[in-house]
Structure 1
Amino acid sequence: MLGMGTLAKKVFGTPNDRKVKATRPIVQKINDLEPEFEKLTDEQLKEKTEELATRAMKGESLDALLPEAFANCREAAKRALGLRAFDVQLMGGIFLHQGNISEMKTGEGKTLVATFPAYLNALTGKGVHVVTVNDYLAKRDAEWMANVFGALGLTTGVVYPQQPAAEKKEAYACDVTYATNNELGFDYLRDNMKSELSEMFQRKHNFAIVDEVDSILIDEARTPLIISGPSQDRSDLYTAIDRIIPDMTDDMFTKDEKQRQVTFTDAGNEFLESQLHARGLLPEDQTLYEPESTTVVHHVNQALRAHKLFQKDKDYIVRNGEVVLIDEFTGRMMAGRRLSEGLHQAIEAKEGVQIQPENVTLAQVTFQNYFRLYDKLSGMTGTAATEAEEFQEIYGLGVVEVPTNRPIARVDDDDAVYRTTAEKYAAIVETIKEAHAKGQPILVGTTSIEKSESLSDLLKQAGLPHNVLNARQHEQEAQIVADAGKLGAITIATNMAGRGTDIKLGGNVEFKIMEAIAADPDADPEAIREKIEAAHEADEKKVKEAGGLFVLATERHESRRIDNQLRGRSGRQGDPGRSSFFLSLEDDLMRIFGSERLDKVLSSLGMKEGEAIIHPWVNKSLERAQAKVEGRNFDMRKQVLKFDDVMNDQRKLVFSQRMEIMEAKDLSEITADMRSQVIDDIVTQYIPPKTYADQWDGEGLYAAVLENLNIDVPVIEWVAEEGVDDEVIAERLEEKADEFMAAKAEAFGPETMRSIEKQVLLQTIDAKWREHLLTLEHLRSVVGFRGYAQRDPLNEYKTEAFQLFQSMLDSLRVGVTQTLSRIRPLTEQEQSEQFAEIRRQMAEQAGAAAPADDAAPAPAAAPAPAPVAPSPDALPAGANPDDPSTWGDVGRNSPCPCGSGKKFKHCHGALV
């Protein structure tokens, strides 16, 4: 008997069916327009773009323009690439334009699908970002799809790391820009550290299409993007602590692999205390429980985590003397990513490589909060349905499953569960041998580099030729994946290595042709193509007869999505295929999260060695375990986001203030308001309201006025006057301060003064924001303990973060007022002394190798160095002292051309 839910679905269809059905009339409209667009010349396709863009600018909705735009784009793609989009691809494009996630199986042509909504939304002239998981895919897709956009009269750009500034700016100005999520996030942070609008790269965040959306918005969203600068070097401390850990026995700590935490037992604390005392790392009269010991305890804890929770070749590899992290989901190297809070340094000490100094955060943002900046967001992937709740709750994105162009013909076996790892691997090798004997290509999925290499050793012993693809072979990734569908090929890959590259049965024709042409450049390319295509057709037929691509997984992942991605590599576009999962009770997922009942059931069955249990019930049990882990991971990400949202509101406010300052021509009103507020605050501090005159602190007020406003006025006499009150004193101070600053502006000249105010404001905001980020980091690390006092850590964090933000704004006002009150033009004698010093330094540098950036101690600067009209010989010909873009290349240790008297790296160079 059918359940109520099942019956309702049969009658009314699922919500997903209804969404798909709703797009069919639109797809029909696009198809009806096809004959009309086929008649257009190449030039007329571009003219059509201009017409549609004009209509969009005049206010016609993009939804109304969609059928014509999609028809135009389909025709351009057909001519430029020889690919005619299927109806299901148009559907996927419609869902993307509506701000949804289109779940499309592997091989359904997602790269082409993205061109439709990208083209439609680019008609507004606000730019579209297409986001990919790595630089290779960003460049490949941009190069490939530029043919389509070019045929439509649109420009295409690609953004990548270490790109020249002019080229990057041009790429962002294009109609469609391809980039990785990391580079977009970092450019956003860098833009908000710039001091000139002309130096910023990104425009407004209009519309983004995120490819492999689950990988970017969920897997990678666990860790924020951080721009940091080095702090003091403490490598001796890490090394000394690292020597203690190997002597610790198992009874001295407990390990929680679920939470990835380690804690010391009482025996561990006693051992550590004696060792730290003996090595001089802890004073004799100090215990580990005292507040002064916090730093040492923190670093000991990180060293223990480095030894007991982080495994070489699984969590990281050592390459060229550096510890490089491995992405647990893709098996890819994350070059440039470092663990925070001294953990990366602890791993470097463990591996005996050079220890890089810990960093202080200069700017940070989570992927969640970066992508929520876009007015409209959409995404594509083969697997999103299992995380639909998270996409909806965090990003407001709906997930729509787009039907496949051809029915799926892949056979999905039930999981085979073995008692031990050894039995499992023996069965895997046997299965590979059988499939290889009939010429079936096999893709073997593993969860770590270590496991892929140990399986590779087993296959070598069995005499089976194979390719291994993991983070060590990152560069050849696309080539190895393209070959994975060849007749009899065996490819071992970590999880989702090679994502974005199709595995075609019989191998990749284009790769084969490129290889053949490169090997014999004199041969006729057309003849080579014909020969290879004929051979490929025969190979493809044999592979299909052998059963298509066989995906063999050696373990279940924590997330069902990752397993589905691996499974989805087989059976593309209706091809035959097969997928099997081989598990053992010793696998991490089974050991940490699996049910103990399963182990008891298997034991009671009295299974013989090498036997496996295969039953749909086992699949269900495993899926429940995975769903539990997914739920826990979602809760963790949600918690991180709740804390980051507090900082995000502050970040948005600070960044928008910076933008207003950079756009403003005259900031004298803002600085005057700040000065007025500082005066009110110091008057209130030393002449509290509703107090008697004998309680006022005239001397304290005089010292504060001198320190903050740099004016010497008879405050003590004013305070002693009969009938005077706090308001009168505040008015007099404001009048004197305004006169003092007006005289200063006259001495500098109005234009120079406006430029100085802008730079002082920006530099002070940046410095205060960096200090604030560090304070919030420390607050975040300790606020969790408030839970023990029955107080909600998140509410505590919100309250204290707000108070800290208030005090940051107060100190910002004081900082700006103090700096502006102290700057002054240099006298002629000071100028000539400064330039004599510059020439002396230049002569020294010419005579000897220049020291490292921070090798030489900086010369003592006079208090409050002041901007000065620079001497002509300090600047290149035609340079404008108020316009940094005209200064050319300035040495980091050279005096700043603005005339502040500071080194360039501490002045304008600090903001670049």
Structure 2
Amino acid sequence: MKYKPRLTQMVSWCILVLSKSSRLVQVGTGEGKSCIVAMFAAYQAMTGKTPDIISSSPVLAERDAKEWSAFYKELKITVDVNTNKSEEKKLKKCYECHVVYGTSDSFAADWLRQRFLRQDVRSKREFQCVIVDEVDSLMLDKGLEVVYLSTEIPLMESLNGILAKIWFEINQLKHFETGEILGPIQLFSQVLSEIITKNKNIDQHSIVQMAVDSGIMPVRSSMQMQENLENVLKQLDNSSVVQMVAFLTIFVGKFPQYFFKLYQERPDGTLRSLNEISPACTSERQEISVLLLGNGKCRVVHFEEDSVIMSMGQTIQIAFQSESIKIKMESHIPGLEDLINGKVQTWIENAFLATKMTLGHEYVLHGVGVAPVDYKCTGVVQNDMKWGEGLQQFLEMKHQTKLSNMTLITNFMSNVGLFKKYTNQIYGVTGTLGDQTELDMLKKLYNGIETCKIPSFRRRKLYELEGLVIPEEDEWIRTVCNVVKYQVSSTVYRGPRAALVICETINRAVNFYRTLSVTISLDKLKLYVNNNMNNSTITDSTIQAGDIIIATNLAGRGTDLKVSETVNEAGGLFVVQTFLPLNVRVEEQAFGRTARQGNPGSAQLIMCSSHFSDLVKLVMGENPSLTSLLSHLDSLIQKLHSLKETLFEETVNYYLENHSSQTHDAVTSALTDLLTINSFPSQECSLEKAKDVRNILVNIRLSGFLAQDIPKILKKEELFFVYLDLLDNAYEDDKDDQLDVIVSSLHECWGLWLLMHSSEEKTIEMLKEQLKVDLLSAKQKLMSKQSPSSMVYYYIRSGNKLREKGRLTESIEMYTKALEGGASGEIIPLYNRALATIKKKDTGYITRALADLEKADKAIVSYKSYLAHILIYIQLSSHVPETEGDTLLSKQFKIKFMIVNLLKMNIQEAVMKLKRAASIGGNVSLTEKHPLFLVVHIILSNQILLGDLETELMHIMSLGLEEIFSLDTLFSASGLVSKILKLMK
């Protein structure tokens, strides 16, 4: 097989080979970047290095590895790709090759498997050299992307109830166009209770007396309720608006630090301010705005979102503290209460954000859940990515898909962290490097990296039409459609062309598709918006005359569209970008889909100004606050116009009367000045202005990345490396048979510590020392059989391990500690303790096991109620139109209830057998089974449920239900005699 590189490819290769340190090379689109990458990788391999090649997607990595395998084989160089492998043996074999293709995500994940999970996948492969095909993952805006391996944290499920309540309350809010926000409908007594909780000076007797004075409570009733404030407050729950106003008037007179502002809702849905209840004179007072509804109900009026977030956060904290376990642990590892107090406001903020996010814009529904879309950059649906801090769960609740648990990040590697491992051996070949500012910042991030641009082998035949900025969306849609239809229609001087319409979001692409489908044949229209769909009819086929591809940035990045000769003869592919691209690099890559490999093509930007970001509008002066300034400028311009027009008229009259060359020059000067004023900056091309503003904002954003965001992620990675060293010590020092239990618990301790401490304003050295001290303390607690936190699932894990080893007394002790802690729930520790007790079979084991199983049976009732509350909260919050059949969420909860009910039946059957054995003084025989046996009869009769049942069973097993059991009663003559004798006594 012979390979004949072109001149530009050889020059690029030579520049990379001669570079002693990191180098990025820009090569024109269609110039054969993959060839340059393969040649340079082969050179590195032949010099004894093991180059890693990073592509922008798994598809491209697998394609290039396959296409160039024969080339590598000719040179006796082994090659493989890591994106399509998950088994440890296959990955190890992959990394033993000279050259490995993959993505930044797959290389980072495999390093985590090696270093964090201690799987032998990378073996002895070092980070010697990396070659990047397209430099997106290197850039600052991608440097923050983080890869992590999911870790099952059982107790994160306990937060779903709080998230569901937050989502319910957020959806009860009412927003007014004037800016006010009505809080959820609540009892008047709840508002008062919150005030009393915060102010310890408000005594119970005063509240009772005010209730009597306002006519809410009779005197006789008040005498009986002096000792119970809760009963007093309940009396307020049926009060009328008049009674509530009277009560508040007396309350303010007694406690002048409060000031109540009352509102009423008009029939047209707006708010009307009523009277104010305020003390006669006081400078410092707490204002509370309330809409009174009668029947003891009201709604707090807020004037900004932050006020709602703070109020809801305080309510949830108070509610949780009243229900939470009062046992306090002396530990620096956060517990459940610490987590809620520290994160509840962030969860509420993300609930607000979820209500504002749009399906088909920032995310799509994929499979059984929600998947983010990188709509600003690549257009890729990120199937393996989940949002954190509750945002993922709120979006799942919004669309009633399957509800996942929040995750706790215990391991991670960022793009910037990955590339820094290659020190000064980062090489790249790309079609677009971006602007100089971005490159300058890149050089600061990766010390010593150099760049160069290689001239094209063929002159590029791209004609860029003048861009347009359309103010109204309807007009913008019509303009784009008309331009596209004109390009794909034949004219007197050319035949029909093909068009690629690149849209910012999936929704807008679908909108264009629907609009064009009215006049364009559907066999000519193609939609390319989702990488989860089969797009081979677009990517593998040749584009014919009249074809229109409507796409997101998915088609604007790395897609090599094949254009027919007929289309090229008519002028090539026409690309229209319908939005202001994120940066120059994204813009150039989109236009790079046409005029490739010497073929002709044209492109145009047609944008809608109403789609610009708020910052772009602000700087461009399209916001209301700058309108007055612009109007003053316009009036000044009009005055200048009138002055010039007068001067022009006088000059013309003089010219007509005195025709000469001098007067001709004066007329020319006056006309030139007038035209110059008519082209005052207010008429400046808005397209170029938008681009300039975009570039300024990009520079500001990238500066923020470099100054703030990148240091934050690198700080977290430094702390992670400290934890990895501590983990190594745990593996080396501990020879206990519970090592895996201790390691799993340490992972949870570390994840909780990072969640709560990483944002602290401390130096990295102080945080490192604190981390070492706190985790060593946690390890010592674990070694002494104590859990370091109520959020660490140590006791049940340890109990299961001890039971498995036959150390039943110790196992029972661990389950007892889990019950005392309370955070692990009751069902599983009670069930497992009963199992260990029956296995031990010491004196009185039947009585003790029976007591545990009866308690577990009752605990299941409470757990079902908890699940039902979550489901009801979410369903009541739905704004999605009802469809026939169950939602994914309701199906998921049906499966949950099904498994819990089957466990309840298993418990009740065991209780019956134990009671029978106790009644005859007999014993029981025990059979342990995999939890799958709970549902095996359902699976055999309904295969469709297999996947769902397996998922929920895996979850319940992660909570510690690793075995279920069945019992048989054994007759014992001696036991029966003993039982009869006891009864006779």
Distance 1:399-1:242 versus aligned 2 partners, 3 A rule:
same
Counterpart residue identity of residue 163, structure 2: Y
**Counterpart position of 2:973:** none
Shift of the alpha carbon at 1:809? Answer: 5.8
Distance 1:170-1:278 versus aligned 2 partners, 3 A rule:
closer
- SS state of the match for residue 318, structure 1? strand
Distance 1:628-1:837 versus aligned 2 partners, 3 A rule:
farther
Alignment counterpart, residue 604 of structure 2, candidates 573, 576, 580: 580
**Counterpart position of 2:757:** 779
Alignment counterpart, residue 401 of structure 2, candidates 353, 356, 374: 353
Distance in 1 separating the partners of 2:488 and 2:598: 22
Counterpart residue identity of residue 174, structure 2: M
Shift of the alpha carbon at 1:443? Answer: 1.0
Distance in 2 separating the partners of 1:181 and 1:493: 25
Deviation per CA, 1:519-551: give whole Å up to 9, x if none: xxxxxxxxxxxxxxxxxxxxx1x3223111111
Contact 1:195 1:762 in 2 (8 A): no
- SS state of the match for residue 560, structure 2? coil
Distance in 1 separating the partners of 2:60 and 2:753: 38
Shift of the alpha carbon at 1:149? Answer: 0.4
Shift of the alpha carbon at 1:307? Answer: 0.6
Counterpart residue identity of residue 94, structure 1: C
Distance in 1 separating the partners of 2:321 and 2:775: 42
Shift of the alpha carbon at 1:652? Answer: 3.4
Counterpart residue identity of residue 351, structure 1: H
Alignment counterpart, residue 572 of structure 2, candidates 537, 542, 548: 548
Contact 1:469 1:494 in 2 (8 A): no
TM-score by length of 1: 0.61
Instruction: Name which structure has the greater RCO, CA cutoff 8 Å, separation 6+.
Output: 2
Contact 1:442 1:484 in 2 (8 A): no
Distance in 1 separating the partners of 2:958 and 2:535: 47
**Counterpart position of 2:465:** 413
The answer to whether residue 587 in structure 2 is matched with residue 563 in structure 1 is yes
**Counterpart position of 1:632:** 700
- SS state of the match for residue 243, structure 1? helix
**Counterpart position of 2:517:** 460
Distance 1:234-1:650 versus aligned 2 partners, 3 A rule:
closer
Shift of the alpha carbon at 1:380? Answer: 2.1
Counterparts of residues 730-741 of structure 1 (less than 5 Å): none
Deviation per CA, 1:623-667: give whole Å up to 9, x if none: 3212122123313432222012223233335546767998xxxx5
- SS state of the match for residue 604, structure 2? strand
- SS state of the match for residue 335, structure 1? coil
TM-score by length of 2: 0.57
Distance in 1 separating the partners of 2:802 and 2:359: 58
Counterpart residue identity of residue 88, structure 1: T
The answer to whether residue 244 in structure 2 is matched with residue 322 in structure 1 is no
Shift of the alpha carbon at 1:570? Answer: 1.3
Distance in 2 separating the partners of 1:827 and 1:227: 29
Greater alpha carbon shift after TM alignment, 620-629 vs 842-851? 842-851
- SS state of the match for residue 54, structure 2? strand
Shift of the alpha carbon at 1:191? Answer: 1.3
Distance in 1 separating the partners of 2:571 and 2:141: 33
Distance 1:818-1:423 versus aligned 2 partners, 3 A rule:
same
Distance 1:294-1:816 versus aligned 2 partners, 3 A rule:
closer
Contact 2:26 2:453 in 1 (8 A): yes
Shift of the alpha carbon at 1:185? Answer: 1.0
The answer to whether residue 91 in structure 2 is matched with residue 91 in structure 1 is no
Largest Rg, 1 or 2: 2
**Counterpart position of 1:704:** none
**Identical pairs, percent:** 19
Contact 1:445 1:554 in 2 (8 A): yes
Contact 2:317 2:341 in 1 (8 A): no
Deviation per CA, 1:46-84: give whole Å up to 9, x if none: xxxxxxxxxxxxxxxxxxxxxxxxxxxxxxxxx26xx52
**Counterpart position of 2:720:** 651
- SS state of the match for residue 855, structure 1? helix
Alignment counterpart, residue 211 of structure 1, candidates 133, 137, 155: 133
Distance in 2 separating the partners of 1:402 and 1:462: 44
Distance 1:819-1:274 versus aligned 2 partners, 3 A rule:
closer
Distance 1:844-1:161 versus aligned 2 partners, 3 A rule:
closer
- SS state of the match for residue 574, structure 1? coil
Counterparts of residues 477-626 of structure 1 (less than 5 Å): 477-483=535-541, 485-497=543-555, 499-506=557-564, 540=565, 542-589=566-613, 592-593=616-617, 595-597=619-621, 617-626=685-694
Shift of the alpha carbon at 1:770? Answer: 4.7
Counterpart residue identity of residue 458, structure 2: R
Greater alpha carbon shift after TM alignment, 163-172 vs 771-780? 771-780
Distance in 2 separating the partners of 1:555 and 1:828: 61
Distance in 1 separating the partners of 2:804 and 2:422: 53
**Counterpart position of 1:449:** 506
Greater alpha carbon shift after TM alignment, 619-628 vs 830-839? 830-839
Distance in 1 separating the partners of 2:542 and 2:85: 32
Distance in 2 separating the partners of 1:816 and 1:294: 25
Contact 1:127 1:173 in 2 (8 A): no
Deviation per CA, 1:713-739: give whole Å up to 9, x if none: xxxxxxxxxxxxxxxxxxxxxxxxxxx
The answer to whether residue 175 in structure 2 is matched with residue 249 in structure 1 is yes
Contact 2:531 2:554 in 1 (8 A): no
Shift of the alpha carbon at 1:774? Answer: 2.9
The answer to whether residue 475 in structure 2 is matched with residue 423 in structure 1 is yes
Counterpart residue identity of residue 956, structure 2: A
**Counterpart position of 1:53:** none
**Counterpart position of 1:341:** 389
**Counterpart position of 2:161:** 236
Distance 1:110-1:282 versus aligned 2 partners, 3 A rule:
same
Distance 1:89-1:225 versus aligned 2 partners, 3 A rule:
same
The answer to whether residue 494 in structure 2 is matched with residue 437 in structure 1 is no
Distance 1:597-1:808 versus aligned 2 partners, 3 A rule:
closer
Counterpart residue identity of residue 408, structure 1: R
Distance in 2 separating the partners of 1:814 and 1:446: 57
Deviation per CA, 1:462-500: give whole Å up to 9, x if none: 335444444435443354144474322211110243633
Distance in 2 separating the partners of 1:809 and 1:576: 63
**Counterpart position of 1:804:** 770
Shift of the alpha carbon at 1:501? Answer: 3.2
Contact 1:765 1:812 in 2 (8 A): no
Counterpart residue identity of residue 486, structure 1: Q
Alignment counterpart, residue 39 of structure 2, candidates 112, 116, 139: 116
Shift of the alpha carbon at 1:561? Answer: 1.2
Shift of the alpha carbon at 1:267? Answer: 5.7
Deviation per CA, 1:188-231: give whole Å up to 9, x if none: 112112346x4555721111111121255444333322223342
Distance 1:629-1:656 versus aligned 2 partners, 3 A rule:
same
Distance 1:857-1:401 versus aligned 2 partners, 3 A rule:
closer
The answer to whether residue 420 in structure 2 is matched with residue 372 in structure 1 is yes
Distance 1:238-1:399 versus aligned 2 partners, 3 A rule:
same
Distance in 2 separating the partners of 1:215 and 1:467: 32
Counterpart residue identity of residue 235, structure 1: N
Aligned length: 624
Distance 1:462-1:771 versus aligned 2 partners, 3 A rule:
same
Distance 1:591-1:799 versus aligned 2 partners, 3 A rule:
closer
Distance 1:395-1:253 versus aligned 2 partners, 3 A rule:
farther
Distance in 2 separating the partners of 1:498 and 1:585: 21
Contact 2:373 2:379 in 1 (8 A): yes
Over the aligned positions, Cα root-mean-square deviation in angstroms equals: 4.3
Alignment counterpart, residue 757 of structure 1, candidates 735, 745, 753: 735
**Counterpart position of 2:245:** none
Shift of the alpha carbon at 1:421? Answer: 2.0
Distance 1:651-1:362 versus aligned 2 partners, 3 A rule:
closer
Counterpart residue identity of residue 647, structure 1: K
